[in-house]
Amino acid sequence: MQLYNTLSAEERAELIDQAGQQRLTLSFYAYAKIEDPKTFRDNLFIAWNALDALGRTYVAHEGINAQMSVPAENFEAFRLTLEAYDFMKGIRLNVAVEHDDHSFLKLTVKVRDKIVADGLNDDTFDVTNIGVHLKAKEFNQILEDPNTIVVDFRNHYESEIGHFIGAITPDVETFRESLPIINNQLKDHKEDKNLVMYCTGGIRCEKASAYFKHQGFKNVFQLEGGIINYAKQIQEEGLPSKFIGKNFVFDHRLGERITEDIISQCHQCGKPCDNHTNCENDGCHLLFIQCDDCKASMQNCCSNECLEITLLPLDEQVKLRSGKQVGNKVFRKGKSENLKFKQSEANTTPLAAAPSPKDIRQKIKTKKIKVGKVAHYFVKAQVGLFTIEKHDINVGDTLLISGPTTGQEIIVLQKMLVNGTEASSAKVGDKITLEVPFRVRLSDQLFKVYNA
């Protein structure tokens, strides 16, 4: 019986593309007493794997916290796997406003000590004595009250690209850091102010609201379902958005646009930008904001040092990071001396308007057949080498290069070398070389595209 993911991200991405089915990105959580988290975890994995559900889930004695990608046609069946448990009957599923079929490429369900690392001793206060839940309309109204203090309980790299106007945005790296900071900062307003809090999906506020009520705050409120649910409600009800910018999410997308305002800067050049990337150097993997121009010139790297490392042969890269602890850089998201334009305080003034998004869904709907895969990419020359595995291709064909990091990129084949010689057609077994104006990777697949 399968209890663990057995496919690589690349293999899973190819299966998703071949299926051509819309997937929904969603999240949910529930605090409950789970006697046997390991058995609970195994049962969930078996049920979800059968539904082709993917994502990242943490299970503990205190409950469950999940971010998932589910085929749209299996959505109700997925809900039934949750409602089979009494504590999840009628559970709220925060469905994303934007969807990406590659938001998650593995199914991971892990048993943890806690479903959120809050650093709190739950035995010292009543974790069920939570704040008042507010829907989007009510949340907008209470923000207009001059006696309201609104606090963002997310981390610095999240609030930097988007937050509620007027919110306190602690410059912290973990949720547990923000609790004593806010408690000290607002200690003189425990009785005369409305303490209103929000986070991505609501789970951090669920525990934080109980903590602050225990600390003596009289009027504690929280945004029901977090920013994800808020975005859905304002869209459905035609409400004005008090949130500005982009909502950071913990999947392949790394962000979900709420308003067209860009309030952050590229950490490398200062240009208005709110797109996060992970440094291409696997020995660094730093999360930071990078514009398209810097992404092209720096090849997805955070520094020249990391760029030089990525150009080395793979075995040399592995040797360089062998035995080294890279966790500090991985979790010090967006904080490095190499990042010249990192903001320490969240900005409220729009710097630019977001461009129209690429229609990823339309690309996925395009009829295509796999013809080969990437064999090598010559960075400086911007030339890709591909192996043809199935079907012939010809100059003039429209090609799709697809991969978890590259995304979905379409080019028209203007010229190619076949086995080192210029030619107009290539057959199975040939090696072709062509100009590619973006970086491709060994995990990328090559497709021939037809008009649907």
How crowded is residue 128: how many other Cβ atoms within 10 Å of its Cβ?
8
How big is the chain, counted in residues?
A: 452
* CB distance 222 to 202 below 8 Å: yes
Q: How far is CA 424 from the centre of its chain?
A: 41
* CB distance 349 to 263 below 8 Å: yes
| 199 given a catalytic annotation | yes
Per DSSP, helices labelled H in 280-401 are: 292-298, 304-310, 314-321, 327-331, 360-365
Task: Sheet containing 54-60: give its strands across.
Answer: 94-95, 23-31, 63-71, 54-60, 107-111
As a whole number of angstroms, the distance between CA 407 and CA 329 comes to 25
* CB distance 375 to 434 below 8 Å: no
Q: Which amino acid is at 392?
A: D
How crowded is residue 146: how many other Cβ atoms within 10 Å of its Cβ?
6
Active-site residue (options: 199, 273, 284, 291): 199
* CB distance 256 to 345 below 8 Å: no
- Which of 97, 93, 113, 111 has its CA nearest to residue 53? 93
Catalytic site positions: 199
